[in-house]
Structure 1
Amino acid sequence: MSDIITVSSASEPVQEPKINLLDFSQEKMVEFFLSIGEKKFRATQILKWIHHFGVSDFDEMTNVSKALKEKLKKIAEIRGPEVVNSLFSEDGTCKWIVRVASGSCVETVYIPEGKRGTLCVSSQAGCSLDCSFCSTGKQGFNSDLTVAEIIGQVWIAAKHLNNVPAKMDRSITNVVMMGMGEPLMNFDNVVDSMNLMMDDFGYGLSKRRVTLSTSGVVPALRKLGDVTDVSLAVSLHAPNDELRNVLVPINRKYPLAELLDAIDQYMSGLRDKRVVTIEYTMMAGINDQPEHVEQLIKLLKKVPCKINLIPFNPFPHSGYERPSGNAVRRFQESLQLAGFNVTVRKTRGDDIDAACGQLVGQVADKTRRSERYQSARQLSEA
């Protein structure tokens, strides 16, 4: 029998995907409008509609000509991540679970305190690092977020907060890149997103009110000072290399001496006298003992910093426990007696799993890390 050859009919022309304008910093928005034969001022005009007013429909842009609106509709769109769920804590904390293009979900948290409203933004679906005490890391890693998916979290939160009842009216005064993921492993998209946060035609935040938190990706941290001057926080969590190698495994590649040198380089490049925030998650019997505070004092004695102590927020099968209030207080007092500015982070939003280290989302893990973690859990329960 002869082979039968099937010839498919000609298909319809494939339509090019529309350009998502939420992906553009001011510089890239200018490039876009020049590329389609429009004036440069259109870039700032559209940026204001997107970020000042939260508009996603070109027809709502009242000072844009009809001809340009029709042109934009054919080639562009304004599309943020899909909001899958919104959760609200008794203490006023809000959490949004948003789905990104990979199909994974990430989490964004808003924490109100007095006149301050801090938005904690994710930079990756999952995390490319695997800090042993962080539930996010146990979910594995799927993908870096695009600019639209990072700044889209700010865009979504701003719109939602503008629509809450007047008695709960809140605004975003600070953004911290402390959500899911290691920001410096998604360098370009995070920098473009932070530029939009600080842009007058974006969210107009001060460089003092946008903070990038890193676990210590030293080469990227050295590069960071060439492109931005946002505030810096470093997830330290241990006062010596031996312990940090266990808690924050990237320390095996970039040990404390290299990290401290990179911090000094970045902070020395700032034009004002800001200090680095040192984040130190305290775990009972692990890094909260008198010898640890002595080592921390010695390690940081020449580093202009403030220290933020974070009592561990438990999650199932973590293997770590939260220290007692007395242990945290003694640790804080020892640091203060040594001359450090020390705060203890309040646990906020733990009733909706929005506290530090509890963000997990729904990650289509590409690393098999979550699979290995689940297997280890099952063995421990057997």
Structure 2
Amino acid sequence: MKYKIIFLLILGLDALNLIFQTSQISISYRESLILYGDISLLQIIIKSSMYIFGHNDFSLRLPMIFIHLSSVILLFSISKHYIKEFGNRLWLVFIFVLLPGVLSSALVVDEAGLIIFGLLLFIWLYLNNLKKLYYLLLVSFVFLDNSYIYLFLALSMYGIHNKNRNFFIFNMIAFFISILLFGVDAHGSPKGHFLDSLALYAAIFSPIVFVYMVFVLYRRHLDNKRDVVWFISTTGFIVSVILSFRQNIQIEHFAPYLIVALPIAAQSFISSYRVRLKEFRKTYRMMFQVSLALLLLNTIVVIFNKELYKVLDRPKIHFVYKFHIAKELAQSLKDDGISCINTNYKMQNRLYFYGVTKCDKYKLSKIKNNPNNIKNVTISYRNRPIYNIYVTKINK
């Protein structure tokens, strides 16, 4: 009972943090492209939320928060197949919600959160031997998103490993159908994106966690402990590394594959810790403590990210800058009765979400001494101006 209360507490605090973060950020340009661009499953989900809960930031991010919390529950359930002790499973969940990449996927409207949920749902169904349901899920993945192509590839190899001919054939067919429907973006010549991709992985997991997870995948290969989760994570990671030699990969399509390896990483860590005598466990304790401290520090920085503007010389280098400004700018314009304006295409898309449409009556300009300027808008966070623009009336 005590552990269940702790689990619900972790889930509740996670949800409260995400709701708080929702109130602090605006829609980004990339999110606006998903919302107003080509139709997709994610767009349908977001627009359905906005239809039910109204046109606001909360309804925009509510589906991502709900999907994330569902992923937490799935991970907790999956972990019982790898970790016996309830307390250690809680530590796994706690680490999961603290990971920078997971926190980002829980808020940002992109495919990452949906892919994490999809992979965890398949793993949960597979480990619980719900055969009809996981086959049905795989069929739906064929038509939903090209990111699941690598799942089919992984499961094909797992079918060979398990000598399961039907499972292999099914996933190979799904793999080729997905390629026909979506294609695979593998273009260009070597451009040195390999190190960039590793740096992104390190940022998503934190350096220590990332290195350890790659080590665990390698170690389990040597020890011949390759289960379905190992094949999924290893395939996704290796494909991303290979592609990174030729192009700048979309990390949000690949990081989820490594994230779902957390249960086997935790299992390996606990096993390695326990087989050692107490006097030789110090290194493992230190590694865990340092990793946890870094993850907690990252979460604190995210929660209080606007404080960083006080020490940054250039606001644009702030890691959340692209999620700031638009909401406050739109409100300032509407306070002066300006409901339409002309500006650069990125800000135009963002302002549209907040009810400021495009027109030729006004425009946003950085030219200070224009006689047609009617308003100066300055956006400040923590008493630090980070954005300054002029509203110019266009005379025809």
Give the alignment's TM-score, normalised by structure 2. Answer: 0.23
Q: TM-score, normalised by structure 1?
A: 0.23
More helix by share: 2
Structure number with the higher strand fraction is 1
